[in-house]
Structures are given as C-alpha cells and as structure tokens.
Structure 1
C-alpha cells in the first residue's frame, strides 16, 4: 500500500506521576517494609536499604490499565500483605509478590463493572476495614459495593462474597474511609453531596455536604446507611479514621478547621494554626496515621502551604472519654499528594509535581508548644501562630534520599550533538536527560610516566582487597607497580620486570602472582618472593595474553599459542607440551574465562583473534586440547576480547564495533551474536565488578561486567536477565581496570585519563548509589517559575542556548519587573537563587530566562509585570534578515506581543497589543504567524510595532493550540483544542489561508509535529497518538491545481477533503511533545515523544515488510499468552497480566489501534517461561535466541 506506515512503540522511561502510595510487608522478612507506587499505567516497588536507608527499586510492572485505588490486605495468620487494586479493568484485584521472580501476580480478580472510566463505575475510592473483614469500593456518583473477605482454611486463598450494593441516587462522593471499630461491625464513612435538590435551581447555591456512614451488618449480611446528625462544612475534603485506641470516630478536614466526630456523634473543633503574618486560611491536602507500640499513635497532616502538623489525642480508656486533642506545627516540606511513614522511622513524601522525598525522623516533635491549637466544643476564632521551618532548617526531619521524577513534562527538545533530551518538567525545573551512568571521582593524581595500560591484582586468592596497581607504558617500555592502601605508593620489592611493558598481571594459585611481558612470564611467590621465569624462543615475543587463577594462555609473534595450567601443589605454571599455530596471520588478542567462584572447574575453551578478521574457538579439554572447534569471521580485526560467566564472549574491534556472542558450554560453537557501534576508535575491553544494592538488604551484590573504551567509555552488565551497555559520564579515559578497596567503600574503577592522570572513580553521583536499572542520568536546573514553553537556536555551536518562558499562578514575585526601554539593550540581572515568592491567590508571576544547557546556568532573566502571563515564544527571521525573539503574553484581559532583537544581550524593540491570546507563534516566510482563538494572522516587523499583514478565520476550529510548518510553499498543519487538525495552505495572491483537508475524527489536540511534506504526527488529551497523511493524489492536486482546489465547497462543516489516519495508538499518557531524531550514534531517526505524567518513549518506523510481519505475529502470540481468560496466566512464576486487562482493548482505548506494534509487550518476551518462549518461537520459525536478538537489534536501532 502506497501510504502504509508501521511503527514500533517503545517506552524508555515510564510515567513518574504517582497517584497512590502504600506501605506494606510483601516478603517474609518481618523487619523490612516495602513502598508500592501506582504510576498511572504501571506499579513500582521500592525497598529501603537497611544499612544506608536509601531507596532501591525492586520491580516495575506495566498494568495495561489505569490504577485508581491501592491498599494492602493481610490474610489471617499470614506475615505477608496482599496488594489490593481497583482500576479501569472493572475488577477488584488482589496481587501477591513473588520473591523468586521479583514480580506481582494476581491471586484473585473479581469483576464488578465494565472496563473504562465512568462516574458511576466503582473504583475511584477504595477502603479496607482495619480488621480485614470487608472492602468497600465507590464510584464518584451513586454506586458503592461492599465485599466480605475471608480466607479458606484448607488452601489459605482469599475469597470474597458477592458484593452488597449501597447506592444513593444523585449523590456525589468526595471521600471514603474505613473506620476503626475493633470487633464491632465494619463501618465506612464518606463525604457526599445530594445534587438532586440543586439541579433544577436557577440560582447559585452553596451545596451542603453530608457525612454518611455505611455499617456492614455481618449477621444479616446487610448494609445500613445513616447520615450524621449535622451537616459538615462545605469546604470539607478529607476524612481521617481515628484509631480505636483513642475511641475511634472520624476527623473531618475542612478549610481552616478540623472537626472530630466521635462514635456517639459528639463533635469537637480544632483550628488549624497559621503562619506568622499570613491571613490566608489553610486546607489539609494529605495525611498519614502512624501507629506505634502500646496503642500509641499520631497523625501527621499537611496543608496546602506544605506545613506539617502533628495531631495527638489524649484518651481516657477507663471513662471512655476524650480528654484533649492537640494540633502542633511540625515542619514544612513541599506540598504532597500523599504521605507514608515506615516503621523504621522514615517518611516518604509523594511530592506534587517534583521529586519524591525520603526523610528520616530526627525526633517526633513536641506534642504541645506555642503553636499548638487545642480542641473546643464550639468553633473558636482564636488561631495559633508559628514560624515556618523548611529546607535545611527542618527541626524534626532530615532528607535521606529522593526519587527522580519528570512529571509534569510540558515540552522537550533534542540536542542532537550530544544526544541529550531537555525537558520542561516538574515544578520550576529544566531537566536534562543524558543516556549514561554518572560517575564520581574519588582520587585524581598526576603520574611520572605516560602509561598506556593499567592492571590491578590481589596477592593471595582469599584476599578481599586489591593489593597491586600496575601501570605499563609501551611508549617508554616501563612498568610501575604501586601498592593500594590508605595511600598509593610505589612497591620496591614486587620483583616485577620494570624495564619492559606489561601485557597482563594475574594472581594464580593460592599465593602467587605472574607478570606477562613481551619477553616472557615472571612468576612471583607473594610470601617468599621467589621468582621463576619462562621465556619464549629466541627472537620470538609475546603479543597478547589472557589468564585466570588456574590457567594462562599466551600468543607469540610467530602465530603460536602456548597454554599453561597452574600446579595446585606448588602454584607453578606447567606448559602444555604442544603448541597451536594459527593460520590467520598475526594474533591480535586471546581470551580465557575467569574461574567460577563456587568450584574450581577450569575454563574449557579459549578464543583467539587473528589479523585476518577472524576469531577461533579452541578447546582446552584434555582429550582435544588446543584443537580449533569454531571459526567465525568479523567485520574488522579484533583488538580485545574477554569471556564472562563462562559463556559470554565480548569482542572489541578496530572499527569501533563491539560484539557479544554466546559460547555453547558443550560444543564451543558461537551463536546469538549482537553488535553495537561504540565510537570511532578501536575498542579495548576489561573485566570489572559493579556494586548493586538494589535488593535493599544492606548487603551489596557484586555484578561482573565489562568496561569498553573507544572514543567514549562504556560499561556492559547483565541486569534482570537483560544485557545493558551504557556510557559512562564525566570521565574520559584511555585504559581502566576493576578495583576493590574497603577504604573507598567497595568496588571502583581505576583508570588513566586523556591527561595521563591516575583516576579512581565510582558509579553514582557521590551522594547515592547508582541504580543499575536507570538508563538516563538526570541533571536539574532551577528556574524561577513553572516553565511553559521553550525555543532554541538551531545553528551549530548555539544549539545549547534555550529561551524559556515560565509562569506560575497563586504567587506574587518579590522581584521587580524588568524595565523595558524601546530601542535599548536589556541589562543582565543577577539571577536570584531562591526568590521565595509570596503566596497570593489568583495572582500570576511570569518571566523569560535564557539558559545555557551545557553550562547549566541562567544567562539572563526578564521579569514581566505582576499578573502578566507568558503564553508563547518563538524565534523569527523577519524579511530584513534580523533574527528576533517574540513573546506572547496575557495581562488582565489584554494581550501583547513583545519583540526582542537577538544579540549577545536581548535588545528590546517594541510590544504590540493584539485581540486574542497568542497561543502559538511561528516564523513563516519572513513574517510572524500567530495562532489566536480560531484565527491565523501574519505580522511583519515595523518601526514601532508589529504590522498585521493577513488575518484568516478558520470556521471549523475553536482555539488553535499547535502549528506545524510542512513545507516552504506555505503548507501548514493546524491543531485545535477541540476540532483535531487541518491541513492549510497560504495563498499569496489573496493573502489568505485556505484549509484543504480535515480529520475524520474530533480530537482534543495537545501537540503535533511534521514527519514529511504530507504527514503529521499528533497527540490528544485522552492519551492517544496518531499519524495522519494527505493522500499523494490530493497533495499533487493541491500543488498543481491550487487555483481550483482552494475554491472547493465545504463538506460537512469542514474542508472539502479528508486525510487518512494511518496509525492509531493509546499511550496511557498525554503526549506533550514530539521530536524527530535518535538517541545513539549512527542510529535511525524515530519519533521521540514525552508525556505529561513523565513518560518518555519513541515510535520507530519498521524498515521492511518482513519485520512488520514478524513483530505483528509476535505481538499476537504474546497477546494470546497474556490473555486473562487462559488459566495458565494465573499460575505463579514469571510475568503475568496483573490487572486481567485485555491488551488490545487497552491500546484501542478510544480508537482501534492501527499499524503500531507495542514494543513494551514485545520486550516482555524475555521474562516469560522458557517453554512458552520455545512454543512461540517455533510458530515464528526461529529459536528464542533469534527472537531476543531481533528485539534487541530493533531497540538499538534508535535508542539503547
């Protein structure tokens, strides 16, 4: 088909907006609690490290559905919690954690409604009885369901009864909790509003809110609904269940006040304290109830200003009366969606629109002080005051860790020269995403020589630390041996050959070490310092070598291979009697596998690389030692090789390619070869060890990996059955080796940098351990306000300069507006580190900031007037060849366009008032194109203001939000907030824009971007992405017969023609930007998208018809496997469909999915059971290894 296009969707970073957080114990370890995050369409588990307190990700699973409610449930007699989930799947789901596979799997999925979101579908609210007897789920309007929950004595499986309905017509629910009633009947409480009495009223009225109780009578299996005697304030938003040890009851949070209603209906009132000097009232947004030993507890609440308050109760159990309730200021942290407290004394702050923060309690604060507000029987006007403490001045909390988030992403751009993605994300931050692992340099020292290679070694096999650091130089034919301890110093009694370059250093046997150099091998006993030498034949030298604790193999300049084994009695080397002569030319590299740690089984194979671009696998087994088993050709000469885990061969080549193959442990055959381009220099490899504390147990696990050095430095490692190859950031080295020392905290890398300095560095930023599952390193730069739009220079050398406009509602800046004088250069302001704007309801603050991404600094800032909001920004090349920066603003009902001349500093020209909000600005044929309301207007640069040159009303549109320039002939694609997109062309003769093709669907457009002259990609606010294309015949007629086409009559209140929708797909996140490019060196361009909730992904076009057929069939088979109707999906072990959601229906949420393959589903092929892999692969006429290789190659084509 002429207009066919197939895309491969792949998520590189999943949404980070967390709607729900729960704390539970999901593993048998009673001392450890885990945190579960519900991030839109995925759930994550984090576990605190017991020694450092840092948070480490344990698992992340896609749900193929939107998680609405999250809570924990514990079976009677069990020590582990189950995860209870409500979602758009229309099911109540119970999940159990499988510690073997580190995944959740469903133990029960109880259907109750149709899939999708409706205001009458239960699931928006979830409440579980504290005694685990009943669960209530509620819809926003009318419907509520109550489940009685129990467990079978025989199987210990959870069982739920048929749901009991508790419906209320024309009632809207604003909150739901389960009360702590002890062993009495379970009771649920909700905030409701009966809108039926107001829906026919023509006047504005304040709706009355009701506190409604639902009692589940277990004996009668019946729900009793009763209202509180007195209505609650109209500003009530939260309910808090008071523990039964304090008499039970419920706390109602409303504006400026807390209301406590006891079981008998009596009420007490507590005023929320205010900040000194503040007159605005506070509203409680989040809370957490923390229970301690001996029936003690406290409640931590947070207001809309971020202030934390500690709520304590004094209850007399003998008299069953409440003696006092105290509310005391605690500390101030960023405003949160939710708070969670762990038993170990940590607080997780699920911060709104910024990084999640993890605090440790330094103390629990005073129950009573000057800021304390006490309960009264009547509403009191007396309000307590307090001084704010935040950031480094916190009195009760200290920041331990943070989880990097990107939500909300407003826009993004790709800096192609560095492959960095710059996002407008979080609250007042510009975040730069770089593929790679951050590094932290521990030691940097100059050297007295110019080394070319570096090695580390122990002196004894049972030694934990590395003892020797060996530097070698082929330029000066020298070797320098250094000792590693508290200080690094030269070793005088190493007995190494110092006037020869070293090829390899290896600890062998129990207490010996060998030095391999061009003229021989020196064996040194570490204890007695006795030396033994082996020399090659006269005139022959050693060119390369490889070794492990029991075996040594060397390559000679006469193309012979010599093989040695270590005598276990005296640790001496014993040479094998025969030698192997290679026919492929000079030997360039050899490789042996390191010994297995659990036994002393020797390596069965060695690999030899020759100058004819081949590698040979030779046997080291007794019956056929030094016999060539396999020969394989390469695309270039092999420069370096290592073997990991006994079966993974890693190859570095002269042309900058890196290859990884699998060696069959029995036959020695090579298979499953995968390649990657690393740089324009030969690739050198070495074995390293990496520390991973991701298990959270406090004991860091060591991961064996490979260090690959080309024009950049990379590390490769296996993580959760996936091999990752990731560049190292902030280091530029020529040679490196693994290094372990307890003095620097464990595993590190010692290397020689480009300046011939000795550097020791660790992975991570120095403040926290690196997470091995993260592909991006994120650097954040603070801006004044929440960034809204940005534009950057396109010229090489200036593409790192960004012009960012930011605006924020509800704050008043304490920085005066920048003085703009017509025709004068704007003086640079000193950037304020912390502006600390004053909270002012209804007030806007806005500014322009010029940012250098590489330097991570703000070059210049321009503050706009109070209540002036920046809307759009663009760089425009006007017809006089002057490059100008244009900014559209809105100020108290008036709208302006500011024009600045771009130079070293901005030069203000003038501002022009316009009729409508300038939502979109774009340079167009030497003029400024403005999309405002449903108008397209052209402006040219005048002396005193912008001059309107054209204005076109687009009838079928409501409010233009995005414009894409398709070609130089005046063709545009215009996106509307309600009417999808239209192809438009500018007619020079009539000075007017004519729409000539519309969409067949109504879409709420968020962003669009050009793919080619006839094609556009777009996203809407429902989370869909689509690709639309004008047919080639229509495009040709528009180009050749425009004088006729522009007068075609309108069709169905739109343009005369309709374009084709060739791709449809539901992302599960609202697209906010599209960028064309790739994220790796020499990759294929794809569509890189960002989502509002913090997601980042790509849409990669398939290259061949065979690829389309293969991955379409693979997707079909995986859908069949994950189909929740099949019994095998519920079997414990391996990946599963945790919400029992139909994958195809999810990806076709609003429109049927078309011509897009779900790469996230495809990559789950790796985690399914081996038997299923074989079954699916046979249907695809291949093996599991071939399928996995094709999946990896497709991913590496544009990403990593």
Structure 2
C-alpha cells in the first residue's frame, strides 16, 4: 500500500505449526512464472504445493496444500521451471541419504550422488508427481531457471563446482561449460569456483543472466539456440562488485545487489558489455578435462554506482554506552568482514539533513519565518530577534538582509506572524505593529509604563500579557484592522507562557487560549465574545511551565485510488513543556475547554521549549531540551522521537522551494555542529536550515 508504505496481507495459509525445524517447509520458495502455483520446501523431506486461484474480482486465494514429500531427502536449491502454459513444474537439487545413514563405514556416503528432480503439478488431477530424476556428476549448489515458451528454450542452468551445465527434458543434450577463473589469482588454485547468486533479464527479443562467483566477479551468460534446442553456453566477464546473497535486474536498467557483508548497492547498467574488447568464453571452445578459461578483473566499466543502502550485517560485536554525552546511550558496533568491515555508531532518532548554515553577528534570542501573503506557498522572510534589535532576512535564491519589510528593527521582537488579510504583525515589548499588504503600518502602544512580557498570535488573533499579569485581547475585524477587546483580565500570578491554536477552517476565531502561570498552573481561557477572557479549566503542574503549544492532530486515511480525497478525524492537544525537562500532553475539548487524558514523558535536563511546525502536511511539535524531539502523528498513533542532531536553542517552521517542510533554527555560541560527515566548533553564533526525513523512511543514523 503506497499511501501507508506497508505490505497488506491478502491471504494466509499455515504450513507449519511446530517452529523452525529442518522438516518444516519455509527454507525454499518457488513460484510458477505464470502465477498459477507455488512450491514451498523444507531442508529435509517435506514439500508443499499451493495452487493460486483468482476470483472474478481478481482476488487472490490459496488452495489447500498438496504434498510432495520424500523421506530421507535433503534439498539444496529449488526453482520453478518456465514451461509456458503446460502443467507447472519445479526443479530441485536433492540428495538421498538413506543408504549413507544406514552404512556405519561411510563408504555409501562417498558414493551418494546428488540428483536433479522435476516435480510436476497436474492441474487436471490436482496432484503432484515426480516426473524425472537424474544423478549429477558434480556437486551442485545453485539452479537458474531459463525462460521458456515464446521467450526461450526453457530448462535450468545447474551451477556446480567449476562448471555450468544446461539441462532440459526431451531430446536436449546436456551443455557443459567451465567457470572462468582469475588470471594470476592469489587464491588456492585447487579451490573450486562456484556461482553464489544470479539475476535474469528478459525482454521480448532476448534474455541473459548475470551470475556472480564467490570472489564477486559477475559474468553475463547467454545461450545459443537453434529452434528450441540449446547449442552453446557463452560467458563474458561483466564487472566485479561485492559478493551478494541476491541480485535483481530492474526493467528500468538498474541492478540491485543485496550484499552478503556490509551495505547494499544499486547500480545503473550503463552498457551490456556486447561491444567491448572483453573475451567471450563458449562451451564450444575445445578444452582438456580439468582445464578452464582465465580472465583479468578490472574496475567497473558496465555498471555505475547510483545509491547505497546502509546495512549492519553481520554484527560481530556490540556495546551500548553514552560515550557522546547525549543523555541517551548509543550503539557501538563492529560490522562486516575483511576489507568491508566497519565500526558504526547508531543513535536513536529521525535522520536530519542540514541544508544551509549562516553565521550571525551576535547571540539571537528567537527566530521566525513568515509569508508575505497568507496563500503563499513558501516563506518570504526570516525574522531574527536580538537583545536590542531585529534582523529581517529575505528568502530567495540567496538569503540577504532587507530594510523595507516594515518590521521595526531597533527593538527586540517577542513574536511575529502572517495575518489572514495578507498583512504581517510584529509584537515587541513596547507594543504591536500591524503591517498591511500595501505597506501601511499601524502601531499599538502599551499603556503607561507597562510593557509586553508574553504574547500569542495566530492568523486572526493576538493576545498579550503586560507586566503585572494583565491580559489584552486583539482580534481582526471586518475591515482588516486589529481591534482590541475593551475588557482586560488580570491574572492571579505572573504569566510565564502563552499559546493560541490556529484558526479552524471556516471559523472566524480560535475559541481558546492556554496560559501558563508562575503558580505552577496552566489555565484555558475562553475567547468566545460572550465570555471573553474568562477561565474555563485549569491543570495543576508539578513545576512551573516553560512553554505551551496547541496543535491539531489526527488520522487521515486516504483512498488508494484517489490520494487527494482524505477523511480526517482530528483533535486538539495541549503540549506543556516543563522546567524540569518533562513534556505533558493533554486532550483539549474544543467545546468545553476541559483538559483530559494527560500523559507525561521526560525528555532531557533543560527546560522544554515547544514549537509548532509542519510535517507531512499536518501539524507537529518540535520539543527542545538537552536534545531535540519531534512529536507527530503517523498511521493512527503518536510518535515522540528524538532528532539525530545536535541540541538547538530556538526554531520555527520553514518552507521553501528546496525544502517544503523544514526547520530554521539557531545555535548559541560555541555549539558543536556536524555537516557532510565533518565536525567542528562554530566560532560565531549562527542559524541553520534543516530538513527532517519523512517518518515513513526514517532509520537510526
């Protein structure tokens, strides 16, 4: 399901109930190329065949299993044979150990031969039979199915020690070709060479195989045919990549290599190796028994590395310790083998990309991003507040300072935001500035000798707290002016933090305001014109609140056929950051204003600062303490995950053409930072732009 990025189980058939044992099927799986049946086999004895049925509604169902068991038999490999629309057939590499098991001298074990066995599913009789079995000269480890019907001659390639053999039923003669070896190889010359994995590429006009040896060398294998009879096997050195457990050729011209040790790789097939000067080996070339072909390995010529998928396998040793002093321990692991071994550090958190870093002339107090117009897609300004000034930066091809934005630059800024009338609002200690889209400016001054200490703002409303705990409420009227509510409200204690939710769609205002007071309480204040600034509910806290954030979160289940249509069920949540490093989250009733279902999570050593951002087209909360955390809602559940990044001081949501859902934040002086794998010490304070990877693809880093 692409929307949820998960697999959805369509049907399930139980084939084993006694655990992972050698006689319980599950080690090998092969499916008929036409999708009519599948065989699942155990290492020993048991094989089951399932017939796949499709209803008129194209719903897939699986039949009851048909048994193809054979006692005292070990299975080495299994593939489905391409027989076009004839009865499905499966080929198995087997060995019968009955005589060897009964012979204590061991002579029978030395004489036991491996067999290639074909199993046929008779769709008419609904029965599985052993159609053909033939002993093999060399010990084989791997089978490759050859395309059949209109695409090829059918049959299988048997990969054995030092040899590649083609076999098929009927009048087809066995075709045998040695596996080439490296010239001047330092490895043991007596050691046999085997193929360990392969990939098949098929088009309407041709097909070929890519097979890899134990040393990582990939060979391109083609078959010469006359009619439906194979006359020769041809091998040509292709390239050398790390040894894989599986390879897959995509129709788009890429080769995915799932490596046995270390990271996996995605290569683009730039050339098919047909027109180069590499020597092509053929089974028709005369060779003495025991002789083979030789080739010289080289650097990549036909493949181009496109991407690398990190893998820890195999983990040989691991330690858990907080050596970096990040409050949470890290995993230190010794991974891989030989020249591909590595020492890796795993941190629990969402992966973060650092987009840009800029130095600032001093220590900032806060940072915000605003849009010129409410319907703009991207932010236009970055506002940076200092202890005695405000810096306005314009966002474009470059980020540069501007002086014609309308913002007052000679005072620190407490908050700023975009208004629904395409205007901007700036709140500073001495008052409020409303900047109209036309450029006209209207100021409101704080009365008497008071000044603004706290504020909260959304698209249409502004609430400020003056010295002494007095609340003043402003709301945009029909003329687009910021109109103050005549009645003020004096709180019983000093206001330490405030929060307003976004105005709901189709509404004129948000109905509630959250205020954190110095008496260790959080109060929900009504903004309804009938009882404006009256208290609705209260939450007692263990310590004083540091910051508040009200967000709307919920589930958005999208229809698979129409991703644009989404049925959404959301709720309001009040997030409370405490000075002891804990985060509280409570459900805010949108009608009564009551707080319910309060949950607590300890985040770090420093007071928790909360910031509302956008993530995956929905609201999320960025919590900053001794470590940065992201609270978001994904696939019908809440997540609170740390960011795999250094601790930040202040942040705001950021949207640009290069980073639609990012964060702009700043470090304080002497904060360590990392970029492109390098670490250093920042001399000057600076702000950065971050992009958080989608939670659907997040991984430890």
- When normalised by structure 1's length, the TM-score is 0.52
Maintained 8 Å contact 1:731/1:753: no
Residue 261 (str. 1) matches residue 167 (str. 2):
yes
What's 1:517 paired with? 428
Aligned to 1:573: 482
Equivalent residue, structure 2, for 1:94: none
SS in 1 for 2:632: strand
Q: 2:573 corresponds to which residue? A: 648
Tell me the alpha carbon deviations over residues 655-700 of structure 1, each in whole angstroms, 9 at most, x when there is no partner: 332222221222221122222333333322222234xxxxxxxxxx
Q: In 2, Cα distance between the equivalents of 1:250 and 1:377?
A: 21
Deviations 1:110-155 (A, max 9, x none): x4444223333333222221122222222322332333332334x6
Give the whole-Å Cα distance in 2 for the aligned partners of 1:671 and 1:531. 42
1:225 aligned partner: 130
Aligned CA distance change for structure 1 residues 675 and 162 (closer, same or farther; 3 Å): closer
Q: In structure 1, what is the Cα distance between the partners aligned to 2:494 and 2:63?
A: 76
Query: Residues 220 and 674 (structure 1 numbering): CA distance in 2 closer, same or farther, change over 3 Å?
Result: closer
**Counterparts of 2:44 and 2:468, CA distance in 1:** 85
Partner of 1:539: 449
Deviation at 1:377, TM superposition (A): 9.1
1:686 counterpart (607, 611, 626): 611
- Structure 1, residues 1067-1086: CA drift from partner, whole Å, max 9, x if none? xxxxxxxxxxxxxxxxxxxx
More divergent stretch after superposition (123-132 vs 516-525): 123-132
Mark the CA change 1:491 to 1:346 in structure 2 (over 3 Å): closer, same or farther: same
Does residue 705 (structure 1) correspond to residue 610 (structure 2)? The answer is no
- More displaced, 170-179 or 381-390? 381-390
Deviates more, 1:649-658 or 1:537-546: 649-658
Deviation at 1:369, TM superposition (A): 4.8
Contact 1:605 1:620 in 2 (8 A): yes
Is this contact kept in 1: 2:573–2:587, CA < 8 A? Answer: yes
Between 1 and 2, higher relative CO (CA 8 Å, sep ≥ 6) is seen in 1
Alignment of 1:2-17 (within 5 A): none
What's the counterpart of residue 296 of structure 1?
206
User: Which of 112, 115, 140 is residue 236 of structure 1 equivalent to?
Assistant: 140
The CA deviation at 1:636 is 1.8
Contact 2:82 2:145 in 1 (8 A): yes
CA contact (8 A) 1:519 1:541 kept: yes
Write the deviation string for residues 483-539 of structure 1: whole angstroms up to 9, x where unpaired. Answer: 12222222111222222210001010242101001111101123x210011123212
| Aligned-residue offset at 1:774 | 4.2
Q: The residue matched to 2:649 in structure 1 has which SS?
A: strand
Q: Is the 2:583–2:603 Cα contact (8 Å) retained in structure 1?
A: yes
Contact 2:11 2:61 in 1 (8 A): no
Deviation at 1:298, TM superposition (A): 2.4
Q: Write out per-residue CA displacement over residues 586-633 of structure 1, whole angstroms, 9 at most, x where no aligned residue.
A: 11111011245x655632211011111111111223443322111111
Residues of 1 paired with 2:473 and 2:261: CA distance? 61
Counterparts of 1:322 and 1:121, CA distance in 2: 37
Task: Give the conservation status (yes or no) of the 8 Å contact 1:328–1:367.
Answer: no
Asked if structure 1 preserves the Cα contact closer than 8 Å seen for 2:237 and 2:278, the reply is no
Residues 240-291 of structure 1: per-residue CA shift (max 9 Å, x gap): 1101111101110111221011332421122222223224542111112233
Partner of 2:330: 420
Question: Is the aligned partner of 1:726 residue 2:641?
Answer: yes
Whole-angstrom CA distance in 2 between matches of 1:396 and 1:737 = 43
Q: Superposition pairs for residues 249-398 of structure 1, below 5 Å?
A: 249-264=155-170, 265-278=172-185, 279=189, 280-292=191-203, 294-316=204-226, 319-322=227-230, 324-366=232-274, 369-376=277-284, 383-389=292-298, 393=300, 395-398=302-305
Change (3 A) 1:484 1:343: same
**Corresponding position: 1:175 with 2:103:** no
Contact 2:23 2:42 in 1 (8 A): yes
Q: Could you list the per-position Cα deviations for residues 1049-1094 of structure 1 after superposition, in whole angstroms to 9, with x for gaps in the alignment? A: xxxxxxxxxxxxxxxxxxxxxxxxxxxxxxxxxxxxxxxxxxxxxx
5+ residue gaps in structure 2?
553-570, 671-683
Q: Distance in 2 between matches of 1:100 and 1:707?
A: 23
Matched, 1:629 2:536: yes
The question of 1:200 aligning with 2:102 is answered yes
Could you say if the C-alpha distance between residues 579 and 108 of structure 1 is closer, same or farther in structure 2, counting changes exceeding 3 Å?
A: same
Going from structure 1 to structure 2, the CA distance change for 1:577 and 1:362 (only over 3 Å counts) comes to: farther
* 1:561 counterpart SS class: strand
Task: Rate the CA distance shift 1:572–1:103 in 2: closer, same or farther, 3 A.
Answer: farther
Say which SS state the counterpart of residue 197 (structure 1) adopts: helix
Q: Secondary structure at the match of 1:449?
A: coil
Q: 1:482: which partner in 2?
A: 393
2: CA distance between counterparts of 1:668 and 1:170? 73
Contact 2:31–2:37 (Cα < 8 Å) also in 1: yes
Task: Give, in whole Å, the separation in 1 of the partners of 2:239 and 2:515.
Answer: 65
Q: Distance in 1 between matches of 2:125 and 2:232?
A: 37
Residues 654 and 683 in structure 1, CA contact (< 8 A), matched pair in contact too: yes
* Residues 1:394 and 1:543: Cα distance change in structure 2 (over 3 Å): farther
Q: 2:162, 2:179 within 8 Å by CA — same for their partners in 1?
A: yes
Structure 1 unaligned residues grouped into runs of 5+: 1-26, 28-57, 59-98, 691-700, 778-1200
Which residue is 1:760 aligned to?
688
Deviation of residue 550 (structure 1)?
Answer: 1.9
CA displacement 1:24-73 (0-9 Å, x = unmatched): xxx5xxxxxxxxxxxxxxxxxxxxxxxxxxxxxx7xxxxxxxxxxxxxxx
Look up the SS of the partner of 2:449 in the other structure: coil
Distance 2:316 2:74 in 1: 32
Quote the Cα distance in structure 1 between the aligned partners of 2:609 and 2:661: 24
Residues in 1 aligned to 2:52 and 2:356: alpha-carbon distance in whole angstroms: 59
Counterpart for residue 588 of structure 2: 663
Residue aligned with 2:215, SS: coil
The alpha-carbon distance between structure 1 residues 655 and 276, as it changes in their structure 2 partners (threshold 3 A), is same
CA–CA distance in structure 1, aligned partners of residues 129 and 275 of structure 2: 38
8 Å CA contact 1:233, 1:254 repeated in 2: no
Q: Relative to total residues, which structure has the larger helix share, 1 or 2?
A: 1
Indicate how the Cα distance of structure 1 residues 423 and 590 shifts in structure 2: closer, same or farther if over 3 A, else same.
same
- 2-side partners of 1:623 and 1:752: how far apart? 44
Mark the CA change 1:139 to 1:776 in structure 2 (over 3 Å): closer, same or farther.
Answer: closer
Which string of whole-angstrom CA distances, capped at 9 and with x for unpartnered residues, describes residues 721-760 of structure 1?
A: 3433333444343222222222467624232433452222
The DSSP-based 3-state class of the residue aligned with 1:465 is coil
2:98 paired with 1:215: no
Q: Structure 2 CA distance, aligned partners of 1:457 and 1:188?
A: 64
CA contact (8 A) 2:361 2:685 kept: no
Q: Could you say if the C-alpha distance between residues 269 and 486 of structure 1 is closer, same or farther in structure 2, counting changes exceeding 3 Å?
A: same
Does the 8 Å contact 1:684/1:709 carry over to 2?
A: yes
Equivalence for 2:651: 736
For 1:113 and 1:710, the matched residues in 2 are separated by 50
Q: Secondary structure at the match of 2:98?
A: helix
User: Is the aligned partner of 1:151 residue 2:62?
Assistant: no
Cα gap change, 1:194/1:712 in structure 2, threshold over 3 Å: closer, same or farther? closer
- RMSD between aligned residues: 2.8
Distance change in 2, residues 1:745/1:322 (3 Å)? farther
Q: Contact between 2:5 and 2:696, CA under 8 Å: does it hold in 1? A: no
Deviations 1:136-183 (A, max 9, x none): 222322332333332334x65444444433333322221111100011
Tell me, yes or no, if the aligned pair for 2:496 and 2:546 is still in contact at 8 Å. Answer: yes
TM-score if structure 2 supplies the norm length? 0.86
CA 360–716 in structure 1, closer or farther in 2 if over 3 Å, else same: farther
Would the alpha carbon gap of residues 637 and 221 (structure 1) be closer, same or farther in structure 2, given more than 3 Å must change? closer
Query: SS of the residue aligned with 1:435?
Result: coil
| Alpha-carbon distance change, 602 to 256 in structure 1, aligned in 2, over 3 angstroms | farther
Distance (whole Å) between structure 1 residues aligned to residue 15 and residue 622 of structure 2: 53
CA change 1:365–1:572 in 2 (3 A) is farther
